[in-house]
Amino acid sequence: MYLIDTSILIHLMGGHPKARSRLDSLTQLTPAYTSVIAEGELLAGIYRLPADARERELQMARVVLGRLKILPVNSSLADRYGRVRAYLKPRSRNDAWIAATALEHGLILVTDDADFGRVPDLIVENWVR
């Protein structure tokens, strides 16, 4: 089971063939998830766009996000996040939330961000390289 990071969500929206193929190959037995944090990062980027491009990008985001199960934040995840932040001091607080989500749910993190490789016990795959 996989947790899709913001960097891969962006590639999926752009139609990256390798990322799309990997997502398309998943079955109901191997679901794909994303974090509500990654969803927020993606939407923040879209809302920064000029109005004429924003609606098209929002529609593409809805299509991509609609294929994934979105995992929320809860107290157990907050505890995991606290441990990741305290010991690793990742550059991005959002990356700490995303890493904590993958660890909390026992998911493989799919990302194009090499910084996640520093997180102990986190299994990482890159679907675009």
Helical packing angle, 6-13 and 36-47, nearest 10° = 50
* Cα 13 from Cα 23, distance rounded (Å): 12
Q: How far apart are CA 76 and CA 101, in angstroms?
A: 10
What are the pLDDT digits (tens) for 72-102?
Answer: 999 999 999 999 988 776 578 999 999 999 9
Looking only at the bridges linking them, the beta strands covering 2-4 and 108-110 are: parallel
Query: Domains of the chain: which residue ranges?
Result: 2-125
Is domain 2-125 in CATH 3.40.50.1010, yes or no?
Answer: yes
pLDDT band at 111 (very low <50, low <70, confident <90, very high): very high
Residue type, 40: G
pLDDT, tens digit (0-9, with 9 covering 90-100), for 50-64: 999 999 999 999 999
Q: What's the whole-model pTM score?
A: 0.94
pLDDT in tens, 7-17: 999 999 999 99
